[in-house]
Homo-oligomer: A and B are copies of this chain.
């Protein structure tokens, strides 16, 4: 089945202590769509400016990403610029220019409205809700969010949560959202706000998954060389939603969600190996499967009878 991905499409300028890359493809939907595309056909919704490279549309085509929901608007593409500290764990936003994104309201092509799986990549929760308003009873809705929306548009976020099947956020956001220091308490508290499942990302420490009766914990794929952490969370969300869309014929259940989290982690681990989407552009399904098997080997502690 297909997955609809909506979010930001940007041109990023990213500086690490070692390298700087200017005006490269970025944005939550860009990473998420390509991450998902390894598992299922993707319908992409977003906006770009007149300066957005046509070559990216060509790239999407090669990845079976239907970009007919990407609107080209007068003006410039959304731009973001950030700089990472020496350990690549903290980053500072240097500049944001919303440009065509400023007054954007995602409108879904008619042919997109019955898509079974939805990934609301990281954008304002009011826009995420606006997308759901246009959809015909999707089977499973994944939503990503961030600290900015928890701080500034909490009411919109609270209104969205009961409409979401799986909410993805990181550890500090989970703590911020609940005031709980324990991630276990935080994860459970967020479930009570509406989402059936909650995935808490812990960066290099992996992720936790909370369900009505189940709990899952996984590590992150161990990486020695990280080049650019930008988009890791978006790629993770894309991998999760894509895997679910590609693999779940019937109802999404907890065992499938466990695997989806591993595939999301695998995708994210590749993404940080190069700047922008450069690693994802040349990634193969065989590489994903190999790393998934490595994940299994490194986290198994008992051969099950």
Contact = CB atoms under 8 A, between A and B. Distances in A.
Contacts of A258: 300-302
A146 interface: no
A181 interface: yes
A1 to B, nearest CB: 21
A192 to B, nearest CB: 14
Contacts of A68: none
Given A218-B219, A222-B215, A223-B184, A301 B206 contact: no
A253 to B, nearest CB: 13
Given A202-B205, A205-B206, A206-B205, A301 B218 contact: yes
Interface string A92-126: 00000000000000000000000000000000000
A106 to B, nearest CB: 33
Contact of A299 (B182, B220, B259, B299): B299
A303 interface: yes
A32 interface: no
Q: Report copies per complex.
A: 2
A303 B304 contact: yes
Contact of A206 (B181, B183, B219, B300): B219
A185 interface: yes
A57 interface: no
Contact of A301 (B182, B202, B208, B261): B261
Given A218-B299, A219-B219, A258-B302, 17 more contacts: A87-B181, A182-B223, A183-B204, A183-B222, A205-B206, A206-B206, A208-B219, A215-B222, A216-B299, A255-B301, A258-B300, A258-B301, A261-B301, A296-B302, A299-B299, A299-B301, A300-B304
18 contacts: A182-B223, A184-B222, A205-B205, A205-B206, A206-B217, A206-B219, A208-B219, A215-B298, A216-B301, A217-B222, A218-B219, A255-B301, A255-B303, A258-B301, A258-B302, A259-B302, A262-B301, A299-B301
